[in-house]
Amino acid sequence: MIAEVGLALLWLAAALAALQLVVGALALRPEGRALAGLVRPVAVMQGLLVMGAFAALVMLFVTTDLSVKLVVDNSHSAKPLIFKIAGTWGNHEGSMLLWVTIMAVAGAFVALIERRLDEATLTATLAGQAFISLGFYVFLLIASNPFARLAQPADEGQGLNPLLQDIGLAFHPPTLYVGYVGLSIAFSFAIGALVTRNVGPAFARAMRPWVLGAWIFLTLGITAGSYWAYYTLGWGGWWFWDPVENASLMPWLAATALLHSVSVLQSRDALRAWTVMLGVVAFSMSMVGTFLVRSGILTSVHAFAVDPQRGAFILALLAIDIGGALALFTLRAGTVTEGKRFGLVSREAALVFNNVMLSGILGIVLIGTLYPLLTEAYGVKVSVGAPYFNPAAGMFAFPMFVVMAVGPLLRWRQDRLSGARSGRRLWPLAVCLALVLAVLVGVELTAHGIALLPALGLSVAPGLLLASLLPLRGRNLRRTPLPVWGMVVAHAGIAVALFGMASESAFSVERLAALSIGEAREVGPWRVSLDGMMPVAGPNWTALEANVTTRYAGGTPVQLHPRAETFTNPPGTRNESALETRWNGQLYVVLGEQAEDGRWQMRFWWKPFVPLIWLGGALVGLGGALALLGRVMSDIRRLVAKDKIAWRRMRQGR
Amino acid sequence: MAAYEAGTMSQADPKPRLRLALWLPLILFAALFALFVHGLTNPADTNVASAFVGNPLPQFDLPPAAADRPGLATRAFQTGKPKLLNVFASWCVPCAAEAPQLAALAQAGVEVDGVAIHDQRADLTRFLAANGNPYAAIGRDDQRAVQLAIGSSGVPETYVIDGRGVIRYQHIGDIRPEDVPKLLARVKDAGKGAGS
């Protein structure tokens, strides 16, 4: 019954999306203007209906309804509740339903609260959103129905991949999805603005919080995903340049560029066409990423839901949506009037530089990700990894870091590097001094056998951290607007993460050891000993758990318990690493197999300052949240003030 | 300081060069689309071929894995006669599926030697009793040392080794009935190559 209700709701939502598209398109013509009032309520209703459909699917998973094919394939009655719920989106159909749900809810949200954009552009935006959604509805209803029943209910479900039964996975995909799909709003805004040719500060002001919101979720999702991979996969690495990781990084890079160019458009009415272009590119990267993951045309560790037929469907959607948007851009961008001009030394110019560098990194990642596909077409198999990505991306990233340090201190429109303004006279000197210092530190580090990139990172990060705090200098901290705090925190987060990455790469110590019980080893400043081994059991797994005593530089001993887990439904194994975090790094312990002579194979890593990577990521997300909060609060204040004025006028008029 | 155009590449400038730039994103996307269509219609071969084909076998000397068969060492492949080296395990289902084909190959006069990966003697005895035993020798490789050294990424895999101990061919996955003549031809080639 629930399955049928869910399916019916999904069909109704799809029908409303079609209505939204048609009415929106008609309302843009002079003779259809009367219909414009219909678009907002339809968008809200569509959001509500698809939320109902998603709730129905969650319910099926919670109750483990074994007559539904999707539940049987991906769940099991003995699974803990949280993983039953997470199982809803741990598969192809469910995750596509989550995709349209977020898309429709975001559209409903825009319809409900967006009041600053002119009505025609908003109507075109919502019609655009309905157009993209409609493609995904068709995909769900025709090629991946999540509510399909089995002719004969199964006795038991097949369970969820053990790697996915992790608390990190319960939250990481939905967070990323909100980010990916949230960018569809920016995409629709761009389409709407192209249709009405109305690109300007008002458009940027309306678009900015949506981009910011999606970007926060993307940042947090990528950070969480990186930490999840780090501690569950047991390889001790935090980023693998895997196609799926790249698929999440590319929209982030485009969204970061968009975030900065939209601020230029809002404040200075410049970079009009470029901003619109980035709005199209950001969501296009989300869709390309989804295609790469779901079609299985690239080999990846995330090889779930691989199906060429679905790939063909998503590719068709890709061609219609992205191709259509880019064609519209080609036709219309020439008629979007020119924006304001600005000087070579100005905040705009620094932001343009940052945009170009981010686009450069995006290009590097895109090429690296697709290169195996390209050579495969000529019969040559290659795999592209860190030796390509790290230096190629670094080539763009380091100049960007330097400009990022200086950019926020420059003035809009036109600035002078030296001049009458007090305190500014020392500027060129200070910048040169910092750069020379960074180079000296870098040279010193490489002389100690540290590779070039980590050495660069270690030498640039402290200066970047300091520089990102400088915009606060001379301000009354209690009266500093939240968006400024947001920028400072986010930029500082980048510096912190950079230091963590460089330190991990420069100073990690790895030890592979076969230990018998009672034996000890040195790992960097740690002394670890294997004290014992015992079996433990969880709700749907059994495991061998090692008892490892660790001491940092002769300090108090800490017990760690790395496990090798064996799952029964479905059968599989997972190595649960054990981590000991100190302020200056993390000890990482993995339990391997038992050798023939009875000794246990174990892996140890000492990774100085590695948690800073994720702390930095979290700070970047926090910075975004502060900026968003500041903007929303100032909006609310303005609305309240407007209401007050209107109320006073009304009273006086009486 | 010179002010330059704000929108870098795509403002309302009538110059034809800039018009061309506007087409660039669409053209790039078309190229991307063509690549995706190609990738989708020609699924990639995800098997990882051994880089050791054409190289001599590494030195190894494995203890016997089964009671009634000897172990396996590199010198067993330097007798001048081409042989098959089958990497398998009793816990591997496709290995049981390919057993009749291995038996057919042994019947055709090719010596098949096995390397049992991560196996227990009792399990192996049971496996051989159920599926037949085409092997002349079975080495026991508990650490996957030999498997890794010859570039095998899974079980089952079958290598054609010529009479001088050089790896001539690698078959990834189970041997299906239609693969038997192909493998026989490879063994014959390997025999010729070693003689010349």
- List C-alpha distances in Å: A201 to A15, A123, B39: 34, 18, 42
Give the pLDDT confidence score for residue A470 in this predicted structure.
Answer: 85
Residue A436 has a CB neighbour count (10 Å cut-off) of 10
Percent of chain A at pLDDT exceeding 90: 40
Q: What is the mean pLDDT of residues A410-431?
A: 64
Residue with more model confidence, A176 or A382? A176
- Residues of chain B contacting residue A370, judged by C-beta atoms under 8 Å apart: 32, 35
CA A504 to chain centre: 22
Which helix H or strand E contains B170, and what residues bound it? strand B167-172
Q: What is the pLDDT of residue A623?
A: 96
Average pLDDT (A298-321) is 74
Pairwise CA distance, residues B150 & B167, whole Å: 9
Mutating which of B5, B8, B10, B18 best tests the A interface, going by the most A Cβ atoms within 10 A? Answer: B10
- pLDDT bucket at A73, cuts 50 / 70 / 90: confident
Q: Does the distance separating the beta carbons of B46 and A329 come in below 8 Å? A: no
pLDDT band of A56, cuts 50, 70, 90:
very high
pLDDT at B11: 42
Contact A277 B25 (CB under 8 A): yes
b/e for A85-102, b at 16 or more Cβ within 10 A? Answer: bbbbbbbbbbbbbbbbbb
Contact yes or no for B40 and A271 at CB 8 A: no
* Inter-helix orientation angle A167-196/A201-232, to 10°: 160
Contact criterion met (CB < 8 Å) for A272 and B7: yes
Q: Are the Cβ atoms of A376 and B44 closer than 8 angstroms?
A: yes
Binary contact (B19, A334; C-beta < 8 A): yes
Contacts of B14 (CB under 8 A, 6+ apart): none
- List, for residues A334-378, the tens digit of each pLDDT value: 776 666 777 777 888 889 999 999 999 999 999 999 998 888 878
| Mean pLDDT of the region B18-32 | 84
Burial A254-267 (b: 16+ CB within 10 A, else e): bbbbbbbbbbbbbb
Of A215, A209, A216, A202, nearest to A265 by C-alpha is A202
With a cut of 50, say whether residue A632 has pLDDT above it: yes
Q: Check if the beta carbon of residue A16 is closer than 8 Å to that of residue A49.
A: yes
Dihedral sign for Cα atoms in the order A245, A251, A254, A259: negative
Whether the predicted pLDDT of B14 surpasses 60: no
* The pLDDT of residue B4 is above 60: no
Work out the minimum CA distance from B37 to partner chain A, whole angstroms.
8
Domain boundary assignment for chain A = 1-159, 166-415, 416-507+611-644, 509-608
Can you tell me the distance from the alpha carbon of A619 to that of A612, in angstroms, rounded to the nearest whole number?
10
Report pLDDT for A300.
Answer: 58
pLDDT band at A411 (very low <50, low <70, confident <90, very high): confident
Among A479-488, B18-27, B56-65, the range scoring the smallest mean pLDDT is B18-27
Chain-chain contact of B35 with A373 (C-beta, under 8 angstroms): yes
Prediction pTM value: 0.81
Residue A233 neighbours by CB under 8 Å, 6+ apart: A163, A301
Give B15's pLDDT tier (boundaries 50, 70, 90). Answer: very low
pLDDT, one tens digit per residue, over A99-149 is: 999 999 999 999 998 887 888 899 999 999 999 999 999 999 988 899 999
Instruction: For residue B18, list chain A residues with Cβ-Cβ distance below 8 A.
Output: 334
Domain B61-195 CATH assignment equals 3.40.30.10 = yes
**Beta-ladder partners of A543:** A536, A565
Helix (H) or strand (E) holding B144: none
Q: B166 with B57: CB under 8 angstroms?
A: yes
Tokens 């660069």 correspond to A456
Maximum mean pLDDT: which of A294-303, A430-439, A533-542, A567-576: A533-542
Searching chain B, which residue's CA lies closest to the CA of residue A300?
B46
Candidates A555, A608, A562, A566; CA nearest to A589 is A562
The pLDDT confidence band at residue B189, using thresholds 50, 70 and 90, is confident
pLDDT of residue A192 exceeding 50, the answer is yes
- Token reading at A239: 């980023």
In which band, very low, low, confident or very high, does the pLDDT at A233 lie, cut at 50, 70 and 90?
confident
Q: What percent of chain A shows pLDDT beyond 70?
A: 95
pLDDT category of residue A5 using cuts at 50, 70 and 90: very high
Q: Which residues contact A331 (CB under 8 A, 6 or more apart)?
A: none
Whether the predicted pLDDT of A461 surpasses 70: yes
Mean pLDDT score, A310-321: 88
Q: How far is B169 from chain A (nearest CA, A)?
A: 18
pLDDT of residue A446: 79
pLDDT tens for each residue of A467-489: 888 888 878 888 888 999 999 99
Counting one residue from chain A and one from chain B, the pairs whose CB atoms sit within 8 A come to: 120
Query: Which pLDDT belongs to residue A418?
Result: 53
**Residue B67 pLDDT exceeds 60:** yes
| Residue A608, token pair as written in the block | 């100085």
Rounded distance, CA A517 to CA B5, Å?
A: 71
Q: What are phi and psi of A132, to 5 degrees?
A: -65, -45
* Band of residue A281 on the pLDDT scale cut at 50, 70, 90: very high
A-chain residues within 8 Å CB-CB of B5? 338, 341
Cβ contact (<8 Å) for B143 and A595? Answer: yes
User: In the β-sheet with B135-141, what is the strand arrangement from edge to edge?
Assistant: B135-141, B111-117, B83-88, B157-161, B167-172
Cβ contacts of A573 within 8 Å, gap of 6 or more = A162, A564, A565, A566, A567
Task: Taking residues B89-112, report their average pLDDT.
Answer: 88
* Per-residue pLDDT band at A299 (split at 50, 70, 90): low
Computed over every residue of chain A, the mean pLDDT equals: 87
Which one is predicted more confidently, B96 or A339? B96
* Full 3-state SS string of A332-386: HHHHCCCCCCECCCCHHHHHHHHHHHHHHHHHHHHHHHHHHHHHHHCCCCCCCCH
Report the distance separating Cα A601 and Cα A210, nearest Å. 50
How do residues B125-153 score in pLDDT, each as one tens digit? 888 988 889 999 999 988 888 888 888 87
SS3 A68: strand
Count other C-beta atoms under 10 Å from residue A467's C-beta: 23
| B149-185 as b/e: b if 16+ CB within 10 A | ebbbeebbbbbbbbbbbbbbbbbbebbeeebbeebbe
Task: Find which of A262, A265, A266, A274 to mutate to test the B interface (most B CBs within 10 Å of its CB).
Answer: A274
Is residue A571 over pLDDT 80? Answer: no
Residues of B in contact with A344 (CB under 8 A): 1-2, 4
| Res A654: pLDDT | 58
pLDDT at A71 exceeding the cut of 60 = yes
ipTM: 0.82
Better-scored residue on pLDDT, A292 or A586: A586
**Residue A567 to residue A543: CA distance in whole angstroms:** 9
**Can you tell me the mean pLDDT for B96-108?**
89
Name the residue type at position A177. Y
Domain ranges of chain B: 11-44, 61-195
The predicted-structure confidence for A372-399, as pLDDT tens digits, reads as follows 888 887 877 778 888 899 999 999 999 9
User: Cα separation of A193 and A195, whole Å?
Assistant: 5
CA distances from A74 to A92, A175, A270, A654 (A): 10, 21, 50, 65
> Each residue of A545-554: pLDDT tens digit?
999 999 998 8
Mean pLDDT over all residues of chain B? 81
| Amino acid A439: pLDDT | 82
